[in-house]
């Protein structure tokens, strides 16, 4: 079976790392950038206070500071990663913090072109919300994507309107579908981010999200377990009503992700199966294991189950 996987390698899921090696011929590293964006859920355009789970400090590296120019962040990011990965020569500028299409197009063009002015930067990954793109921005990104490698990563978080409302997301799932479909019309590669274990969602509902996502024009997906981050509205809710939350243990979570991946469209590149937050910001008990270890356990579980990504994909259509 290993030699018959449609993604062209022997790992039991369509691995992001292997996809990059196949696509670029070598390792390509992301450089996280905080370009000083905000989002419409913080400036009162669609809401205030932000999504209840959100604290961007939870995943920004030390060199990634909005007070620094994009150029300086890229320069420091290259130096930072050269210490860790000696053979990395190519980078993707990852506009990560908040909603990185939430500005007039002329401002976006300036920032993106500043990043692409570095010869080592061969493309962009742009993190944003589905309600922060419009046809003008997508037309521009579609043209840019013909010249450089470009992915727009949308925060989907949940496929259920009841959950999106509860976490103060500020848009419904129909907006996510619209953004993905409009991006696909322009041949823009898209990523999707989903949080597993949001309050009010049952295990069966979470599994059904794999079926829902599998019908959408996505290129890649990231799965993160719900983590309660200090300084968020959700942390306050958790402290007051912990009974409203189910925080997955490691083994239980791995079982859940295996079942999700078994139902997932095999064409999707799986970028992450879990999130990693500094223990200093994590309110609930962490699993005490780094991501590489989680990934090894996940792949071992797939092997033990004699399973692989998309094993039950056809049966869910």
- Give tens-digit pLDDT for 140-181: 999 999 999 999 999 999 999 999 999 989 899 999 999 999
Q: Among 97, 104, 208, 212, which Cα is nearest to 155's?
A: 97
Q: Tell me the CA distances in angstroms from 209 to 40, 77, 78, 230, one per residue in order.
A: 25, 35, 37, 27
Kindly report, residue by residue over 77-132, the tens digit of the pLDDT: 998 887 777 778 899 999 998 899 999 999 999 999 999 999 999 999 999 999 99
CATH number at residue 223: 3.20.20
Q: Residue 57: what pLDDT?
A: 62
Average pLDDT over residues 179-189: 98
Residue 185 has a pLDDT of 98
Radius of gyration of the chain (CA): 19
Closest CA to 94 of 144, 29, 42, 41: 29
- Which domain covers residue 85, as residue numbers? 2-316
- Percent of the residues in the chain that have a pLDDT greater than 90, as a whole number: 73
Looking at the structure of the chain, the number of domains it has is 1
Tokens representing residue 206 in the block: 């979470």
Kindly state the tokens that stand for 294: 């989680």
Which parts of the chain fold into alpha helices (H)?
16-24, 70-84, 105-116, 135-144, 161-166, 173-185, 203-214, 233-240, 250-263, 291-304
């Amino acid at each position: 079976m290993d030699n018959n996987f449609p993604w062209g390698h022997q790992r039991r899921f369509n691995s992001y790392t292997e996809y990059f090696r196949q696509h670029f011929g070598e390792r390509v590293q992301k450089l996280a950038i905080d370009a000083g964006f905000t989002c419409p859920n913080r400036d009162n355009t669609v809401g205030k206070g932000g999504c209840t789970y959100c604290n961007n400090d939870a995943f920004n590296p030390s060199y990634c500071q909005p007070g620094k120019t994009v150029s300086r962040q890229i320069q420091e990011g290259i130096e930072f990663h050269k210490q860790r990965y000696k053979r990395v020569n190519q980078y993707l500028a990852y506009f990560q913090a908040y909603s990185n299409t939430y500005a007039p197009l002329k401002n976006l063009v300036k920032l993106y072109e500043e990043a692409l002015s570095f010869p080592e930067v061969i493309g962009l990954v742009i993190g944003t919300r589905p309600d922060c793109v419009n046809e003008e921005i997508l037309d521009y990104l579609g043209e840019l994507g013909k010249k450089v490698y470009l992915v727009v990563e949308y925060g989907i978080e949940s496929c259920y309107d009841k959950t999106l409302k509860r976490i103060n997301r500020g848009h419904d799932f129909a907006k996510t579908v619209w953004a993905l479909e409009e991006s696909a019309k322009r041949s823009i590669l898209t990523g999707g981010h989903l949080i597993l274990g949001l309050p009010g969602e049952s295990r069966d509902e979470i599994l059904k999200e794999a079926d829902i996502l599998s019908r959408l024009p996505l290129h890649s997906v990231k799965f993160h377990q719900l983590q309660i981050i200090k300084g968020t509205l959700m942390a306050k809710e958790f402290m007051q009503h912990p009974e409203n939350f189910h925080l997955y243990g490691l083994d239980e979570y791995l079982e859940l992700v295996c079942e999700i991946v078994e139902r997932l469209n095999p064409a999707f590149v799986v970028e992450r199966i879990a999130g990693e937050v500094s223990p200093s910001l994590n309110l609930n008990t962490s699993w005490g294991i780094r991501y590489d270890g989680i990934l090894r356990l996940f792949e071992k579980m797939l092997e033990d189950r004699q399973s692989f990504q998309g094993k039950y994909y056809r049966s869910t259509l």
